[in-house]
Amino acid sequence: MSTFNLPDVGEGLTEAEIVGWKVKPGDTVVVNQVFVEIETAKSLVELPSPYAGVVKELHAAEGETLAVGSPLFSVDEVGSRPAPMANVPEVADIAEADTPVASEEPGPLVGSGPKADAVKRRARTNRPAPTRPAKAPGVQGSAPAIPAALADTISRRAAELGHASTRLTAAAKPAVAAFVDRVLAKPPVRKVAKELGVDLAQVTGTGGQGEITRDDVFSYKAQREAERDAAPMFWSAKGQEVDGRVVRTPVRGIRKATAKAMVESAFTAPHVSIFVDVDASRTMEYVARLKKSRDFEGIKVSPLLVLAKAVIWAAARNPSVNASWVETENGAEIQVKHFMNLGIAAATPRGLLVPNIKEAQDLSMRELAIALNDLAETARAGKTSPADMTGGTLTVTNIGVLGIDTGTPIINPGEVAIVAFGTIRQKPWVVDGQVVPRWITTLGGSFDHRVVDGDLSARFMADVASIMQEPALLLD
Amino acid sequence: MTNTVHEPSEQALIQLLTPEGERRSHAEYDSYIQDIDAEMLRGFYRDMALTRRFDQEATALQRQGQLALWVPLRGQEAAQIGSGRATRPNDYIFPTYREHGVALTRNVDFPQMLRIFRGISNGGWDPRENNFHMYTMVLAAQMPHATGYAMGVQRDQAGWDAERLEKDGTAVVAYFGDGSSTEGEVHESMVFAASFNSPVVFFCQNNQWAISVPFHVQSKVPLAERAAGYGFPGIRVDGNDVLAVLAVTRWALERARRGEGPVLIEAVTYRMSAHTTADDPTKYRMSADEEAWLERDPLLRLEKHLKDNQLADEVFFKQVAVDGDEMATRVREEALAFPDPSLAQSFANVYAEAHPLIQEELKWHLEYEAGFADTTEEGATR
């Protein structure tokens, strides 16, 4: 039986985590067949088997972290047991005569720790003259004894498997999946994040290609720390006066404005909320295509861009969602706006802000992407001006970035519709009677029922959903 | 000129085979490949396919702990085979550590290329045997070596007439990448080569990524344009087109041999794999980027050309695959059987000629080693 120890697959790595076994005891493996996937500090790596034979034992469980040099799996090699072919005497001879042949083959070069005989003390004699060795050189260094014909078959099979697995990986990992799954960050930044214990998935990247920079990691860390440091001191001891255990913060500024707006909206506009699940796979593909397009180089593109465009498109087909309810001296009026100032709800260090993109109906996809980027950056930097926040006609709130599926948004005062964009994740979805993984999101919408009736809100949401499902409709 | 920085015009890139495998004629470079017949084309395909299969096997060996590191070349086969096959035996080649395809064209046997990566040799082959220098691990260190060698060649060939230069002259090829293009040595080498009009061809495989740094960070202009600053021609060639690379390199080598000085060739290609086995490109580049280059795979292009023009049949492609597997098995066997280097060999590498002190130390060492009960012959002790 041969045991394969975890090698150092990078340069100077000390450990790796078992991500997933591709074989189980009893399985037959061939040379170069991928048998396990491991993750090191540097990369996710598939390990090909150095042995052909039957898997005897897996020495670690999935999720376990192993030190380099620890046993990984053991295989009963075909070369060390009688071959299934009757007329191959050499194999049988070797197997019977010298069972440990397999264990004498050169062990892994790296990652197996010091060789046993390197630390073994060697007996000295006083004979000064060198003697001829009994064994011919090279015997110990010879390759596993597999007859040429068998080795040939094995290697061809391995090559087939190799090709097959390449194809499989390529098919199972379309560009979209990679785009959504992956956080882009260079290895030094990942190292910093790991050292600081920062989950890169939570950090917003500001780099040229949307990648997370070192500064992003540090600022995220600083923000989280400030929040977390305060947590242990939060509960105050019993026995003090009640006043001492309550912190009073006067409601001012943005908090006050938000509160006023929400009360005004919630208690004057009767809200009706509807939801729709959408297969956004094509949106994801479209976004991935935009990202690699030269026109969008250096511009951050996200599914929010497609949603924004979809909302503008759907509003033109259902104009009463882009309107206001206005009380005048001569009674109430519905004012339908033939322009779109698209509000985007943004969580900022100062609190919730809803700046809007003026005349969004005139913007091309690229201009809209730039406008969204500018809006987010300005908001994050705390530089949103009051003018940026007035005159909105319809709002989008991107709750998906927080990992939330959906919610009932409250309409921005002065408007009659708001769209909540939930997180996009892979879910089982039925396509042509088959359950397949697709990128699914939930769109939520709240409408002022004084202006927008149920059927109209439904039509509007269905239109938005249709674009998310097939962005090509935008070309119509 | 409205050329943007990252997208030079189509005509600036020499291409003789389109990604669809169609032969495109070119007024200037067709004459450099007139001798290429079906058999030679099949030979190029075979070279490229074997190199790729070897690369796979070496990667597997690294993953199995049998190599300390491996440097994959997938995607760059055409750039390497095309340029390597353009050289003559008396030309001298200075490779980086990724030139496995070039090494093949210089008759270095595949298993030998693994010795340095297995950590049992500082080289792996005798560079003088095939005029193919050792792999250089230090980035761009081979560049001054190449220019220096070319300057030496000029002195050896002083007084040769044009006919002799054309027939027996030596040219030097310095391989480097877009990453090393930023190193100071490249600049110095080019300045010296230009000043002395030395017979050196600077062959850059621009594979778009210097580990994780994309090309547009390395240079604001196509690398070939830098040659103008040194005062010699720079040419951009489709590095995934084996015919174009062959033609352009032949042109540059002939020019160098005639004494007309250096040329910078920028072979535009793509590193389809990781930088090394210690690297994970999914951390810094989009798979869409990788997929876009799949269509430009150099092997696929030549395969299409061979099939569409009935220059090779299914039997040929199957045979190449079988030969590749056989070669891979042999590579594995030989690599695992490499003897560990003995300490005694190190004494031979100190001075060119025998040195009394070293000889004395070697004698002492051999006596000491012989004093153990389990002594076996040098080199076989593990």
Write the CATH number for B114. 3.40.50.970
Candidates A110, A153, A209, A290: best to mutate against B (most CBs of B within 10 A) is A110
Residue in the block written with tokens 């242990």: A232
CB-CB under 8 Å, A155 with B278:
no
Co-location of B287 and B359 in the same domain: no
Q: What is the pLDDT of residue B11?
A: 42
Note whether B233 and B364 are same-domain residues: no
Tell me the residues of chain B between 337 and 356 that have a Cβ less than 8 Å away from chain A: 337-339
Q: Please list the alpha-helical segments (H only) found in A98-174.
A: 101-104, 116-119, 148-172
Contacts (Cβ under 8 Å, ≥6 apart) of B66: A50, A106, A108, A109, B118, B335, B336
Nearest CB neighbour to A152, from listed B53, B66, B326: B326
Phi, psi torsion values for B93, nearest 5 degrees:
-115, 130
CA gap B356, A37 in Å, rounded:
55
- Has residue A161 got a pLDDT over 90? no
In tens, the pLDDT along A9-24 reads 877 788 888 989 999 9
All residues of chain A having their beta carbon less than 8 Å from the beta carbon of residue B278 are 9-11, 42-43
Scan residues 44-63 of B and list those with Cβ closer than 8 Å to A: 53, 56-57, 60, 62-63
Shared domain check, B347 and B259: no
Searching chain B, which residue's CA lies closest to the CA of residue A73?
A: B64
**What φ, ψ does residue B273 adopt, rounded to 5°?**
-115, -165
The amino acid occupying position B286 is: M
Q: What pLDDT does A110 receive?
A: 52
Å between B286 CA and nearest CA of chain A: 7
Residue A41 has a CB neighbour count (10 Å cut-off) of 15
Q: Is A59 in the active site? A: no
Residue A231 has pLDDT above 90, yes or no: no
Q: H/E element holding A242?
A: none
Question: How many domains does chain B fold into?
Answer: 2
Let me know whether B352 and B330 are in one domain.
no
Chain B positions touching A140 (Cβ under 8 A) are 380, 382
What's the pLDDT score for residue B77? 98
Q: Do B284 and B255 reside in the same domain of the chain?
A: yes
Return the H-helix or E-strand segment holding B352: none
- Among B277, B289, B329, select the one facing A9 at the smallest CB separation: B277
C-beta of residue A42 within 8 angstroms of C-beta of residue A17: no
| B373 close contact with A: CB closer than 8 A | yes
Whether A175 sits inside 8 A of B366 (CB atoms) is: no
Length of chain B: 382
Average pLDDT in chain A: 78
SS3 B86: helix
Q: How far is A152 from chain B (nearest CA, A)?
A: 7
Q: Residues in chain B with pLDDT < 50?
A: 1-11, 377-382
Q: Which helix (H) or strand (E) holds B246?
A: helix B242-257
- Are residue B365 and residue B240 in the same domain, yes or no? no
Q: Find tokens 């706006």 and name the residue.
A: A337
CA A267 to chain centre: 40
**Residue A177's pLDDT band (cuts 50, 70, 90):** very low
Q: Which tops the pLDDT comparison, A375 or A176? A: A375
Question: Does the residue B3 lie in any domain?
Answer: no
Query: What residues of chain A lie within 8 A of the CB of B6, using their CB?
Result: 294
Last residue of a domain, one of B317, B337, B357: B337
Residue B358 domain-assigned (yes or no)? yes
What would the mean pLDDT of A285-309 be, rounded to a whole number?
90
Q: Given pLDDT bands bounded at 50, 70 and 90, which one contains residue A338?
A: very high
Count of other CB atoms within 10 angstroms of residue A253: 10
Q: Are residues B214 and B170 in the same domain?
A: yes
Task: Check if the beta carbon of residue A52 is closer than 8 Å to that of residue A34.
Answer: no
Of all residues in chain A, the one with the smallest CA distance to B278 is A10
A178 lies within 8 A of chain B by CB: yes
Chain A contact set for B284 (CB, 8 A): 184-187, 211
Name the phi and psi angles at A336, rounded to 5.
-90, 130
Interchain pair A42, B278: CB under 8 A: yes
Q: Is B128 helix (H, G, I), strand (E, B) or coil?
A: helix
Q: Do A178 and B382 touch (CB under 8 A)?
A: no
Give per-residue pLDDT as tens, A289-299: 998 888 888 88
B134 Cβ contact list (under 8 Å, min separation 6): B116, B122, B123, B124, B125, B127
- Kind plus residue range of the DSSP H or E element containing B139: none
pLDDT of residue B83: 98
B274 and B369 belong to one structural domain = no
B43 inside domain: yes
- Assess if residue B4 is contained within a domain: no
Residues 6+ apart with CB under 8 A from A300: A210, A369, A372, A373
What pLDDT score does A126 carry? 54
- Chain A positions in Cβ-Cβ contact with residue B328 (cut-off 8 Å): 155, 159
Region A414-425: what's the mean pLDDT?
Answer: 93
User: At how many degrees (to 10) do helices B314-337 and A148-172 cross?
Assistant: 110
SS3 B199: coil
Are residues B323 and B356 located together in one domain of the fold?
no
B211 CB burial (10 A radius; 0-12, 13-18, 19+): middle
Tokens of B169: 């002259």
- Do B376 and A133 make contact, defined as CB atoms within 8 angstroms? yes
Average pLDDT, chain B: 92
Determine the Cα–Cα distance for residues B265 and B202; give it in Å rounded to an integer. Answer: 6
pTM: 0.58
What phi-psi label fits residue A18: left (phi over 0), alpha (psi between -120 and 50 degrees) or beta? beta
With a threshold of 0.85, tell me whether the complex ipTM lies above it: no
- Do residues B233 and B264 touch, judged by C-beta distance below 8 A? yes
Alpha-carbon distances of B303 from A141, B311, B317, rounded to whole Å: 39, 10, 9
Q: Does B2 touch chain A if contact means CB atoms closer than 8 Å?
A: no
Residue B181: in which H helix or E strand, if any? none
| Chain B neighbors of A112, CB-CB under 8 A | 65
Distance from CA of A183 to the nearest CA of B (A): 8
Q: Are residues B194 and B226 in the same domain?
A: yes
User: Which residue, chain included where needed, has tokens 């009960």?
Assistant: B373
Number of H helices, E strands in chain A: 13, 18
Question: Any residues with CB less than 8 A from the CB of B262 and at least 6 apart, and which?
Answer: B150, B190, B193, B194, B197, B198, B199, B200, B201, B202, B230, B232, B256
Q: What contacts 24+ positions apart, CB below 8 Å, involve B348-357? A: none
Q: Per mean pLDDT, which range of A340-344, A363-367, B8-12, B95-99 is the poorest?
A: B8-12
Q: Are A5 and A70 contacting, i.e. CB atoms less than 8 angstroms apart?
A: yes
Q: Give the CA distances from residue A153 to residues A146, A149, B325, B329, in Å, rounded to whole numbers and listed in that order.
A: 11, 6, 9, 10
Degrees to nearest 5, angle at CA B69 with A189 and A174 = 60
- For residues B331 and B344, state if they share a domain: no
Domains of chain A by range and CATH?
A: 2-109+146-171 (2.40.50.100), 185-233 (4.10.320.10), 257-475 (3.30.559.10)
The SS3 call for residue B179 is coil
Element (H, E) at B294: helix B287-294
Tokens read off for A304: 């929010």
Q: Of A346, A354, A445, A446, whose CA–CA distance to A392 is shortest?
A: A354
The CA distances from residue A110 to A105, B61, B118, B163, B266, in Å, are 15, 11, 9, 54, 37
Number of H helices and E strands in chain B, helices first, is 16, 8
Partners of B65 on chain A (C-beta within 8 Å) are 4-5, 7-8, 50, 108-112
Closest to B344 measured CA to CA, from B376, B312, B318 = B376
Interface test mutation site (partner A, options B55, B276, B325, max chain A beta carbons within 10 A): B325
Instruction: Give the pLDDT band of residue A142 (cuts 50, 70, 90).
Output: very low
Nearest-neighbour CA in chain B from A294: distance (Å): 10
Q: Mind listing the pLDDT tens digit for each residue in A421-462?
A: 999 999 999 989 999 999 999 999 999 999 998 889 999 999
By the 8 A CB rule, do B344 and B362 touch?
yes
Instruction: Give A381-409 pLDDT, tens digit per residue.
Output: 777 887 888 899 999 998 887 788 888 89
If you count residue pairs, one on A and one on B, with CB atoms under 8 Å apart, how many are there?
A: 176
CA A70 to chain centre: 30
Does B2 reside within a domain? no
Q: How far apart are CA A160 and CA A164, in angstroms?
A: 6
Which of A59, A163, A271, A449 is the catalytic position? A449
- Who's near A44: CB < 8 A, 6+ residues apart? A19, A37, A38, B280, B282
Closest CA in chain B for residue A158? B325
Residues of A in contact with B50 (CB under 8 A): none
In a domain, B185, yes or no: yes
Query: Using one digit for the tens of pLDDT, what is the confidence trace for A72-127?
Result: 999 998 854 333 333 333 333 333 333 333 334 455 555 433 333 333 456 666 54
Look up the domain containing B362 and give its range: 340-382
Question: Searching chain A, which residue's CA lies closest to the CA of residue B335?
Answer: A143
Predicted confidence band of residue A201 (pLDDT cuts 50, 70, 90): confident
B350 and B273 inside one domain? no
**A184 interfacial to chain B (CB closer than 8 Å):** yes
In a domain, B260, yes or no: yes
Q: Which has the closest alpha carbon to B295: B238, B246, B240, B237?
A: B240
What is the phi/psi pair of residue A236, to 5°? -105, 155
Residue B5, in any domain of the structure = no
